Structure 1
C-alpha cells in the first residue's frame, strides 16, 4: 500500500489575509479556490508537492503550545531572511543550526501558526 501526504489543513480566521501571507508574501501558488458547505477554501502549493489547504471559519485556532509547525525548504536562508525583512515579517526564532547541514528560522502567519523555513546544505 502506497501512502502519500496530499495536504495539510489550517482553519484560518481571514482567508484574504492568509492568502496575502502565503501567496502574496511567501509566493505559494494558488491552485484553486472554492466554497464548500458555506466555507471559503483555498489550496496552495505546487501540483507535485503536499498542498496547504486554508479553510476560513471561526473555529478555535490551533495554539502555539500544541507544538505544530509547517516546514518549507528554501534554497538560501540568507535570501529568505532578506525578503522577510523587506516585507516586515518578523523572525520568531532563529536562525538555528541544528547540524552542519541544516539551518532554519521560524516565522508566524496571520493566525499565529509557526512556519519553518529551512536550508539544507
Structure 2
C-alpha cells in the first residue's frame, strides 16, 4: 500500500489536526486551485482531499466506516497531551491481546486509534 485518501470537509482543519496535533510530516498542501494535502505516517501517505467535488450519493457517512491506528510509545501519556485538544471517543483500555488502546476523532469524526504495548 502506498497511500490512503480521506475525503474531508475542511482540508486546512484536517491538515492541522494530523500534522500539528498528531505530529505527522507534511508532504504537501495545495489550496490555490484545489484543496488537497498529504501527510506521511510510517511510509504511508494520507491524502486529505476536499469532498465538495464528490456527488452527494458517493459521500459516505463520516467517521465510523474506517479507523486509522497509530502506535505510540505510551498511550496514556499521549492521551494526557491530547486532552482538551482533541475529541476523546474512548479512554485507553488494555485489550485482551495485550495492547493498550484509546480512540480520538479527527475534525470530520474519523476515528483515530492510539495504541501502545502494555
How would you bin the TM-score normalised by the shorter chain? 0.7 to 0.9
Deviation at 1:39, TM superposition (A): 2.8
1:30 maps to which residue? 26
For the 8 Å contact 1:61–1:111, the answer to whether it is kept is no
Specify every segment of 5 or more residues in structure 1 that has no aligned partner in the other structure, as ranges: none
Task: Tell me the TM-score normalised to structure 1 length.
Answer: 0.80
For the 8 Å contact 2:11–2:35, the answer to whether it is kept is yes
1:11-49 deviations in whole A, cap 9, x for unaligned?
Answer: 0111111111111111111012237xx532111015x51
Deviation at 1:105, TM superposition (A): 0.6
Equivalences, count: 113
User: Which of residues 1, 18, 28 in structure 1 aligns to 2:14?
Assistant: 18
Task: Tell me the TM-score normalised to structure 2 length.
Answer: 0.82
User: Which of residues 98, 105, 117 in structure 1 aligns to 2:102?
Assistant: 105
Say yes or no: does 1:114 pair with 2:111. Answer: yes
User: Which of residues 34, 43, 51 in structure 1 aligns to 2:38?
Assistant: 43
